[in-house]
Amino acid sequence: MTALFDFDERYKGGARAFLVSVNFSQNDDSGSLEELKMLAISSGAEIVGILTCTRSSPDPKYFIGSGKAAELKSQVEFWDGETVIFNHELSPSQERNLEGLLGCRVITRTALILDIFADRARTREGKLQVELAQLGYLETRLVRGWTHLERQRGGFGLRGGPGETQLEYDRRLLKERVNTLRRELAVVEKQRDQGGRARSRRGLPVVSLVGYTNSGKSTLFNTLTNADVYAADQLFATLDPTLRTVTLPRTGKTVFADTVGFIRELPHNLVAAFKATLREARESDLALMVIDSGDEDMKEKIASVEEVMEDIGAGSVPVLKVYNKIDRIPGISPHVEHDSSGMPCAVSISGKEKLGIDLLLQAISERLGRDRVCLELCLPPDAGALRQRLFEMGAIDSESYDDIGCDHLRITHSLTELARLSARFGGDLERFVTVPAGFRFHKESWED
């Protein structure tokens, strides 16, 4: 019964696909259809035709109505289509009716996204989350025609009641697999939580890159961190989060996190399944919202990203907007925009051409540097416990010793955390500060 959970049986990348999109409002739906095309291409499908229509409400039997369904059937047969992809959610009965009429596979936008996610997931956590989302989607469509395998009688003799049907058996297997996946995910999430707590103890600020898929997040991440994350001009080129540490001028060691790209009307079961993966965005100190500055639907996509941020519990995270790909727009040069308080709120750059990266790093440092200080300390030989704690926090930028054994440290860290540390050591940290001279921690700077 392992084939029950093989989602690739329903759709295989590379198939000859026919796209269907229905407009239920007076608004232009071309952006959503264009996105469906990009999703299909990203999955490897060959688009052989597109059917669009306008309706006031879905048809109960075929979703698009019997007339349009007949037209779709003739078009699919003419172009030898292997799969029909709807830009909408279909009920299980609508899906079965369409498959019976068209004689080919019928999948929805959600199933297509799940297929792409399954193909791109690389880490164990990502694969587990994708399979869990797939099974949640499959559960509502679990209808089998294997009635010949059902136990028609149960118990002893001929008077026993009906036994377990094939559908019941499939549902039981699915439920068992879902429970197994959840247990395995709990272990993986616990390990990720431990890593997050370790970074928190060290006081390292976290900057997450979020944004609409294909906005250039991974390319910018590679530029900022000198990483080699896969980047391509396609939707969901990368799925699993990647973390790298970068030393910034004012904030010291900073963790940068590249996350999965967002998309409009992201299926809720995907949002639920990937909450653990997206915790980097939810728990970051600053979110870089990467935006394709040349996209005609830029405002709508910004709204979609903000909506997903709310869904995953990251709505309160401070945001610095990064208008990417300015190299594609004539007459625009790298620049920084400031809010009413004088803090950077938006930066225009090109991650691919490395234009304005210095401005972006400066803006990040300013946004994170509100609560960070750079100090020079002179610790006597008997202050080993304090030195060890500073190392554990990741606060030490450089270290040297003089002729009498004193330890000269240059540290960069959160003012709040350093004030708390100084209080634990009876104010010793304050006494050892040499630069800036006369530095003092104020009570209000560390009180909760």
Give pLDDT tens digits for 17-29: 999 999 887 666 6
On whether both 321 and 361 belong to a single domain, the answer is yes
Q: Residue 146 sits in which domain range?
A: 121-152+161-201
Mean pLDDT of 426-437: 82
Burial of 225 (0-12, 13-18, 19+ CB in 10 A): buried
On whether both 258 and 336 belong to a single domain, the answer is yes
Mean pLDDT of 235-255: 74
Write the CATH number for 316: 3.40.50.300
Cβ atoms of 304 and 267 within 8 Å: the answer is: no
Q: Is the pLDDT of residue 160 over 60?
A: no
Give pLDDT tens digits for 38-81: 888 888 889 999 999 989 999 999 999 999 999 999 999 999 98
Cα distances from 418 to residues 56, 207, 438, in angstroms, run 62, 20, 16
Compare 230 and 319 and report the one with higher pLDDT. 319
Q: What pLDDT, on the 0 to 100 scale, is given for residue 194?
A: 65
Q: What pLDDT, on the 0 to 100 scale, is given for residue 165?
A: 67
Write the CATH number for 91: 3.40.50.11060
On whether both 415 and 442 belong to a single domain, the answer is yes
291 pLDDT band (50/70/90 cuts)?
Answer: very high
Q: What pLDDT, on the 0 to 100 scale, is given for residue 174?
A: 82
Please state, rounded to an integer, the average pLDDT across all residues of the chain: 80
Cβ atoms of 317 and 309 within 8 Å: the answer is: yes
Virtual CA dihedral for 389, 395, 397, 398, nearest 10 degrees? -20
Residue whose structure tokens are 């003739």: 74
161 pLDDT band (50/70/90 cuts)?
Answer: very low
On whether both 171 and 297 belong to a single domain, the answer is no
Domain stops at, among 369, 390, 412:
369
Q: What pLDDT, on the 0 to 100 scale, is given for residue 263?
A: 75
Compare 418 and 98 and report the one with higher pLDDT. 98
Domain stops at, among 65, 96, 117:
117
Encoded amino acid at 356, one letter: G
Give the bridge partners for 51, in sequence order. Answer: 20
Q: Is the pLDDT of residue 301 over 70?
A: yes
Q: What pLDDT, on the 0 to 100 scale, is given for residue 224?
A: 92
On whether both 338 and 400 belong to a single domain, the answer is no
Give pLDDT tens digits for 304-356: 889 888 877 788 888 999 999 999 999 899 999 999 888 899 999 999 999 99
Q: Is the pLDDT of residue 273 over 70?
A: no
Contacts 24+ apart (CB under 8 A), 194-197: 196/279, 196/283
Q: What pLDDT, on the 0 to 100 scale, is given for residue 364?
A: 92
Mean pLDDT of 85-106: 91
Q: Is the pLDDT of residue 444 over 80?
A: no
Q: Is the pLDDT of residue 202 over 70?
A: no
Structure tokens at 50: 């597109």
Q: What pLDDT, on the 0 to 100 scale, is given for residue 171?
A: 78
Q: What would the 3-class secondary structure string for the chain be?
A: CHHHHCHHHCCCCCCEEEEEEEECCCCCCHHHHHHHHHHHHHCCCEEEEEEEEECCCCECCCECCHHHHHHHHHHHHHCCCCEEEECCCCCHHHHHHHHHHHCCEEEEHHHHHHHHHHHHCCCHHHHHHHHHHHHHHHHCCCCCCCHHHCCCCCCCCCCCCCCCCHHHHHHHHHHHHHHHHHHHHHHHHHHHHHHHHHHHHHCCCEEEEEEECCCCHHHHHHHHHCCCCCCCCCCCCCCCCEEEEEEECCCEEEEEEECCCECCCCCHHHHHHCCCCCHHHHCCCEEEEEEECCCCCHHHHHHHHHHHHHHCCCCCCCEEEEEECHHHCCCCCCEEEECCCCCEEEEECECCCCECHHHHHHHHHHHHHHHEEEEEEEECCCCHHHHHHHHHCCCEEEEEECCCCCEEEEEEEEHHHHHHHHHHCCCHHHHCEEECCCCCCCHHHHCC
The total number of structural domains in the chain stands at 4
Spacing of C-alpha 367 from chain mean position: 23
Q: What pLDDT, on the 0 to 100 scale, is given for residue 147?
A: 43
On whether both 276 and 186 belong to a single domain, the answer is no
Pick from 139-143, 161-165, 238-242, 404-408 the range whose average pLDDT is largest: 404-408
Q: Sheet harboring 372-379: ordered strands across?
A: 396-401, 407-414, 372-379, 433-435
Q: What pLDDT, on the 0 to 100 scale, is given for residue 7?
A: 41
Q: What pLDDT, on the 0 to 100 scale, is given for residue 153?
A: 45
Cβ atoms of 49 and 153 within 8 Å: the answer is: no
Q: What pLDDT, on the 0 to 100 scale, is given for residue 276?
A: 55
On whether both 214 and 362 belong to a single domain, the answer is yes
On whether both 59 and 70 belong to a single domain, the answer is yes
Q: What pLDDT, on the 0 to 100 scale, is given for residue 24?
A: 84
Pick from 161-165, 279-283, 429-433 the range whose average pLDDT is largest: 429-433
Mean pLDDT of 260-265: 73
Domain stops at, among 354, 369, 384:
369
Q: What pLDDT, on the 0 to 100 scale, is given for residue 156?
A: 42
On whether both 306 and 417 belong to a single domain, the answer is no
On whether both 173 and 229 belong to a single domain, the answer is no
| Dihedral of alpha carbons 174, 180, 182, 188, sign | negative
Give the bridge partners for 289, in sequence order. Answer: 210, 321
Give the bridge partners for 378, in sequence order. Answer: 408
Q: What pLDDT, on the 0 to 100 scale, is given for residue 234?
A: 57
On whether both 180 and 228 belong to a single domain, the answer is no
Please give the backbone phi and psi of residue 55, each rounded to the nearest 5 degrees, phi first. Answer: -140, 160
Please give the backbone phi and psi of residue 241, each rounded to the nearest 5 degrees, phi first. Answer: -70, 145
Q: What pLDDT, on the 0 to 100 scale, is given for residue 99?
A: 92
Q: What pLDDT, on the 0 to 100 scale, is given for residue 158?
A: 43
Give pLDDT tens digits for 390-409: 888 778 889 999 999 999 99
Q: How many Cβ atoms sit within 10 Å of the Cβ of residue 385?
A: 10
114 pLDDT band (50/70/90 cuts)?
Answer: confident
Cα distances from 192 to residues 127, 243, 283, 317, 393, in angstroms, run 15, 12, 12, 20, 19
- Determine what percent of the chain is predicted with pLDDT higher than 70: 77
Count the residues in the chain. Answer: 448
Give the bridge partners for 414, in sequence order. Answer: 372
On whether both 247 and 322 belong to a single domain, the answer is yes
Q: Which of 99-113, 236-250, 283-297 has the lowest mean pLDDT?
A: 236-250
